[in-house]
Chain A
């Protein structure tokens, strides 16, 4: 698959929104994972008319590769302003791949409190899991070559798109 054949992120977001809609209640909390997951969560928060505040996680302090590669160069503060205890949380991320990011995010959430439930929504599931993690809501499943990295991007006017990079050049 190359950049030309990648699915349209805006269409995927619309599909994902409709898959989530039946399960979203006034008690649902959305938590995005930086950076792409936060963009998606902001849009979902608006479209699904969530009333509880939006959460944002930077999982840099919970990554399992810290001892190999050190601290991620741009750490942003996590922003969880609500009580996590007893909440029904939907984690939002752009691309589900090895599952390691989600493992880190779940661990971080539990350091804020014990949620009643955590579900996972992702725009793209590219398979190749390295730990047993599954998403509850998926925009699309696609298969990519191992040396490719898929990234969500946001233009100045807020429009979302997917891009494919070579892992080596992009780090």
Chain B
């Protein structure tokens, strides 16, 4: 037996809740399977019959258009039936608890839940609660984890850089509030990236982040030197309210990615962003649309990666 709630008794993936603690073999299996799904999404008929007859519920307790849409497309391309529930607007408003909602949907013979919640640990709670034949995918929980985003980032990095073992990767922006950054750091570490940097204002640096094995920089000039991959983070407007930053203009001046700053990285460095972007705050439009940007391929690969995760879960 193992204590990882994501794995079944045979060590196979039962739920995808976080990239933390997942062995490289499982991460690589997801990336390799996704390679085959990229071809499927480029055909006339972008569908395979793998999950025909399965019911997948997108449980979004926190609004998200992009992530929900990519999960929906991924499920539909696997021939599953998809039901989208925007729960903030329905039963939660009527006072139904999250687990009551899950119980009701389980009684409708759900096969898989995709869960987005503003509370860290929500997907874990559901995973512990559901029957063993139901699989749970965390689509983002509070500040904790966003594993499919990190996996699609890893897929994109491998597509452009081929190998993880000789890379210098910089994560830039609001590390403190970012579930994406946490999931990226765990995945990059497991896949053997030797140098992970975080570049962030002192006010957006979480305590004890060095324990994760990353190098901390507060200056873009130093932090971007000789970097192969830049993972930009979204600066969430609501974070401004906490008075951690003086102004968007000030942030852009110091941490916004301009071509001038990007030129400090390696000449073939790639720029990634989980979206949606704040142009002119964390990234300059010229860079976002520039030739080093792989932000739109990330979106395309995200569908293939989510198809791979759903398929592997449903098959275990």
Contact = CB atoms under 8 A, between A and B. Distances in A.
Contacts of A61: 36, 40, 48-50, 311
A66 B43 contact: no
Contact of B33 (A66, A71, A78, A108): A71
A78 B316 CA distance: 23
Interface in B301-316: 311-312, 314-316
B45 A112 contact: yes
Given A111-B48, A112-B43, A113-B44, A66 B36 contact: no
Interface in B9-49: 32-33, 35-36, 38-40, 43-45, 47-49
A109 to B, nearest CB: 11
A74 to B, nearest CB: 8
Given A70-B315, A71-B311, A71-B315, A58 B50 contact: no
A112 B44 contact: yes
B312 A111 contact: no
B47 A111 contact: yes
Interface string A40-63: 000000000000000000101110
Contacts of A129: none
A21 interface: no
A69 B48 CA distance: 17
B32 A75 contact: yes
Contacts of B38: 77
Contact of B36 (A77, A111, A112, A113): A77
Nearest to A60: B36
A111 B45 contact: yes
Contacts of A112: 43-45
A146 B314 CA distance: 30
Contacts of A77: 35-36, 38-39
B316 A70 contact: yes
Interface string A62-93: 10001001110011111100000000000000
Interface residues of A, number: 19
Interface in A98-138: 107-108, 111-113
Contacts of B43: 111-112
Contacts of A108: 48
Interface string B268-279: 000000000000
Given A61-B40, A66-B315, A70-B315, A75 B47 contact: no
Nearest to B46: A111
A111 B41 CA distance: 11
Contacts of B36: 58, 60-61, 75-78
Contacts of A113: 44
A58 B50 CA distance: 13
A161 to B, nearest CB: 28
Nearest to B47: A111
Nearest to A70: B315
Given A71-B311, A78-B39, A79-B39, A62 B44 contact: no
A74 B315 CA distance: 14
B33 to A, nearest CB: 6
A1 B181 CA distance: 59
A113 B44 CA distance: 7
A74 B29 CA distance: 9
Contacts of A74: 32
Interface in B228-276: none
A71 B312 contact: yes
A35 to B, nearest CB: 14
Given A111-B43, A112-B44, A66 B32 contact: no
Given A69-B315, A75-B33, A113-B44, 5 more contacts: A61-B49, A62-B48, A71-B33, A71-B312, A77-B39
Interface of B: 32-33, 35-36, 38-40, 43-45, 47-50, 311-312, 314-316
Q: Which 6 A-B pairs have the closest CB atoms?
A: A70-B315, A61-B48, A111-B45, A71-B315, A77-B36, A75-B36
22 contacts: A58-B36, A60-B36, A61-B36, A61-B40, A61-B48, A61-B49, A61-B50, A61-B311, A66-B315, A70-B312, A70-B314, A70-B315, A71-B33, A71-B311, A71-B312, A77-B39, A78-B39, A78-B40, A108-B48, A111-B44, A111-B45, A111-B47
